[in-house]
Structure 1
Amino acid sequence: MIDYGDTYYARTLSDGAQRSVLEGQVKADVAIVGGGLAGLTAALDLARSGRSVAVLEAQRVGWGASGRNGGFVGPGYATSHANITRMVGPERARELHRLSMEGVRIVEENIDALGMSDNKRVYGKLSVLRYHDPDGLKQHCEMMEREFGYRLEVMPTEAVRAVLRSTKYHQALHDPACFHFHPLNYARSLAKAIEERGGRIFEGSRVLGCDLDGAEKICRTARGEVRAREVVLAGGGYTDDLVPRLRRSILPIATYVLLTEAAPERLAEAVRTPMAISDNRRAGDYYRLVDEGTRLLWGGRITTRTSEPRRLAGMMQRTMVATYPQLRGVRVETAWSGLMAYARHLMPLIGRLQPGVWYVFGFGGRGMNTTAIGGRVIAEGILGQSDRYRLYEPFGLAWNGGPFGVAAAQLTYWAYQAMDLAKERRAVGAA
């Protein structure tokens, strides 16, 4: 039996039912390879429109990054709006950002429409600076209000340190529209909704080979096959060599998360807000209180190493204590890793590979909103409702560089860490 591992989300899963393995031949309008949030969103939209869908998942629904992440839902991409503007120009960059905002609304609407009573939303997110730059934050707030009508607020250092008891932090951006929730419960609810609309979902059914060139596509597993007119490839960070061109376009990057023991009094010495928190470093920390403030879920660090470190809990605990020394001695109850998919340009990979073959993956670092909009625009393309997926065409399937690309990504991350540390030291020296 395949399980979700010892993650916080697995421990608090409201529906642990296991789905059947694909046996024999199944026919559908659309076959979807990958039962993460992008594939499930596409499948739900297609099923709502009357298309028959079959989802093939190698492990379990939401088993990968979709059910292992921080659970933060807010607009934006893994790279900045300024970088996107440099790549595609201001008009297209604005359209792309509006899509990312729509992705947040899709998640909210699904929670409401599907009656997800097991998925409480906690609104508010603080993006904190680890150096002094109130003017930069103010300019960003003004740009977001001017370009998108999106309201953000600058929190001064004193206000930040009143709720986050760390001398590492300076000012913060407060986004009242962001929220955090239980991503694995959300994925499982999407799957249930798909099945209620006639869709079929098979777990433990890794696709081992595909015939994609004919009018009828075939996806084969160890014990069966799905025949469909359209195929959506949505493997995320666990994309294998099923379609080599797709695998060569991403770098699987590992991120790590821990869950503390129940220690409400100790945690209140450090974190005094229920909001989601992240810092401004390239691969910074992100965390939130869970279980009514009794435990802390803390994520951060990235590496190109795809195997889980032996002393993961201790490594993550040191990261947490470096920010909040008052949490020294708070026990880590469990820790886990997950693989995110990054393209070299840090944008999602969304598009049509060839007639009847679509791909939607590469959401590293900002998957909660971008998986939603990615799944939707692919469904719209299949249904002939829009060609919004083409907004992502400038971010193509660029070669990841192979082993040299992996080494370059790790070296780049270390360089960014060094630059972030230098900024923090200058901030301390100027204080």
Structure 2
Amino acid sequence: MKQSTKSQDQPASTQSRRRFMQAAGAAGLLSVAGCLGGGGGSGGEGTLSIPGLYDQSGPTSDVGRPTALGSRDAFKWINEEGIIDQEINHNGVDYAYDVAQANQQYDEFTSDGTPPIIIGWGTADTEALAPKVARDKIVYISASYSAKLLTEEAPYNFFGNLDYTSQARAHLKWIADNDPDGKVAFIFSNTSFGKAPVEGGKAYAEELGLEVGDDIDLPLTANSATTQLRKAKDDQIDYLIHQNTAAPMQVLLKDRQDVYPEVNVMGLTYTVDELRVQESPETFEGVRYASGFKTFAEVMEGSGQGKDAIEASFEREGRDMEDPGVANLNYVRGVIHAMVALKGIQEATNLDLDPSMGENIRSAMFEISDWDVFGLAEPFTYEEGDRRPTMTGRIYQVEDGEMKFDSKAELPRRDDWIGL
């Protein structure tokens, strides 16, 4: 397969783009101070409107609630600290993981003006809204990490993690390096979210020479995984790569103990978090997990504005740093969404571009290069032709009730993987 020939460091093109944007700003774009105040995505004088769609009552609300809390807290922190000159008006609503409701809420968000940025959630709704987002020129930062959102058909979509398929690729690379004779299968919910990494993941498994078994369906609302595990056992699967949320993951692991304890389970981004691990340490023991950002404990052990924002938010709201229901990686995920929005605004301002216009935020996003996400994640880089923020997977393994960092999987930035 074709390898990407792009260099991660492109000084000539970056400088040309920066000179062009600065010239455009000098030629007639309104200054930040002069353009805010009415319409055009503004929430009032000196404010920027950044609404959000969250699942707080639907089938993915187990991970949606702490994520929503992280974003809301981070936007409050940005306002209170005066990080930017504008006040951010963040109106986050619960759409219960319903595509029709997401469309309705989107229409409401844009009825009185076009916000420059929206924080989104699920794969089905984010993919459904992508044409509207592109038409209205709104930067859409979602919690869906579907590779389809990185194609030319979704030019205004961004996210803050290793894409779903590449998370699976990180696990597959580990298997190929450590157990090349192992047989793998994908287990997932029959949803756009669940199916997102399967096609590309299976193609990479075959490229690595791994044997691939039949797909296995495990619904988001599953209360038993006995049938699925029997299928895996009959097919002699060694590794199950699981794309789901934490609730069905817990069901799968609980039933594994009785039906097929020998099978290894490798979870993608929403399947494992500190709450579930601490609630059921024996059930989760040995499970592997892949993501592009850090756990809550890792963030707290480090430094940066991300840590500062979380500490200040917990103190302000009276939250308990020892409560894994909130102090978990999904909360960090939500903070990342807000920080990506913040960084886009900051880069637009640096270019003398009006941050209340989504097309300006989108242009500014491509100034983000090798950014450490304020200490929250692997470095992010966005490019016009490649909006994958990172190709580095952080691999964890659950040991004694803790998510312990194991290794990094450095994946190639291949052009033929964009959208797959």
Q: Which has the higher contact order (CA 8 A, sep 6+)?
A: 1
With structure 2 as the length reference, what TM-score do the two structures score?
Answer: 0.27
With structure 1 as the length reference, what TM-score do the two structures score?
Answer: 0.26
Greater fraction of residues in helix: 2
